[in-house]
Amino acid sequence: MAIGFNVAIVGATGAVGNEFLRLFEERNFPIASLRLLASARSVGQTATYKGETLTIQEAKPDSFEGIDFAFFSAGASRSRNLVPAAVEAGAIVIDNSSAFRMDPRVPLVVPEVNGNLVDGISRVYAVPNCTAIILLVAVNPLRELGEIERLVVSTYQSASGGGAKVMNELIEETAHEIGALRGLPAEGAKSEKVLPHPYAFNLFSHNTPVNEFGYNEEEWKVIEESRKILDLPELRINVTCVRVPVLRAHSESVTIEFAGEAPSEEQVREALSRAPGVRIVDDRESNTFPMPILASGQGDVLVGRIRKDLSHPSAISMFIAGDQLLKGAALNAVQIAEMVINVGQPYRDEQFV
């Protein structure tokens, strides 16, 4: 392998883990060695990186010897258990889980929004919730047009946001339901059911626990993390998160309320056209706007349906879609690592715990 950094992926067999492998190749991330880690269940499985076959190892506290960058995407409890060991071993951690996002010591970074927090000092960077990242890439550029007072967001979240098992569940359940509609005999047993409700030809409120205020965990993460990332602790946000039977990429309906009069459509369009990580898809004539199928596999967040909210003089509305496995997870993490490399972060000189 080329000269570069020693890199580990924790959760290498997962939906996000797979994207890391592809992105490292695509972006020519400077890798000297790559260690693929997952649960004991996957030990001995293989994955390919730049034509080389790599064997999956079990992620354990002693897995990080000599590692420069550890990318975590194996769930919050694994991050809580293993991130301190990775930092202790000298690695810089970029964590996709929710474990450290709200820790005041940990920068919660969307490079296009608050990349200035990549400071050359932190040992752990948290990648925000995927729905929040997609939202903020599209909303942040509008802050130059006026003070944002309130956001109202409704989401249409895909199966891939729940990981590989949920994607399988949607595919198999859809095949099963189509078979049933056509009167065909059921094809084999359905795979393990992760979601609490029928998924094919259905949609339901996000499948995370609901808190005392009636908001589910996903909605609460969007609220809290958006406030932290934008550094607007008082920002008013109302979010409704819904799981829809789309395989990949999340969509969101967003209404943005400004402190004064709303900017014009032209101003919004102009600000978004200059914004990094944003692509405007807004063709009224052909009725073509952001769609998950257009966003899948893309690094940019697609923004369209840009219009004044005619029910409120201070508000504008838009519809956005983004690939949450990429910009909402792996790509955002790799971008943070690239920024760390660019600021010349000193390695192995500070401890996180």
CA triple 92-98-100, angle to 5 deg: 50
CA nearest 81: which of 95, 65, 67?
95
User: Which residues are CB-contacts of 303 (< 8 A; sequence separation ≥ 6)?
Assistant: 138, 272, 278, 279, 280, 281, 282, 290, 318, 319, 320
Q: Which is nearer to ligand NAP, 101 or 123 (CB)?
A: 101
In the complex, what is the shortest distance from the CB of residue 333 to ligand NAP, in angstroms, rounded to a whole number? 9
Binding ligand NAP (rule: CB under 6 A), the pick from 86, 142, 328, 331 is 328
Span interacting with ligand NAP, options 26-34, 261-269, 289-297, 324-332, rule CB under 6 A = 324-332
15 sits near ligand NAP (criterion: CB under 6 A): yes
Binding ligand NAP (rule: CB under 6 A), the pick from 5, 6, 17, 112 is 17
Q: Which is nearer to ligand NAP, 109 or 329 (CB)?
A: 329
In the complex, what is the shortest distance from the CB of residue 163 to ligand NAP, in angstroms, rounded to a whole number? 3
Q: Which is nearer to ligand NAP, 108 or 280 (CB)?
A: 108
131 sits near ligand NAP (criterion: CB under 6 A): no
Instruction: Give the CA dihedral 288, 294, 295, 300, nearest 10 degrees.
Output: -70
CA nearest 287: which of 301, 305, 269, 272?
305
**Is residue 197 annotated as part of the catalytic site, yes or no?**
no
Both tokens of 153, joined, read 């967001």
Binding ligand NAP (rule: CB under 6 A), the pick from 13, 226, 314, 345 is 13
Binding mask 57-96 for ligand NAP (x = CB under 6 A): --x-------------xxxx-x-----------------x
Report the SS3 class of residue 65.
coil
The amino acid at residue 36 is L
Q: Which residue is nearest to ligand NAP (CB)?
A: 14
Exposed/middle/buried for residue 285 (C-beta within 10 Å: 0-12, 13-18, 19+) = exposed
The amino acid at residue 288 is T
315 sits near ligand NAP (criterion: CB under 6 A): no
d(CA 61, CA 43) in angstroms, rounded, equals: 16
Q: Which residues bind ligand NAP (CB under 6 A)?
A: 11-17, 38-39, 41-42, 59, 73-76, 78, 96-97, 130, 160-161, 163-165, 324-325, 328-329
Could you give the residue numbers annotated as active site?
130, 250
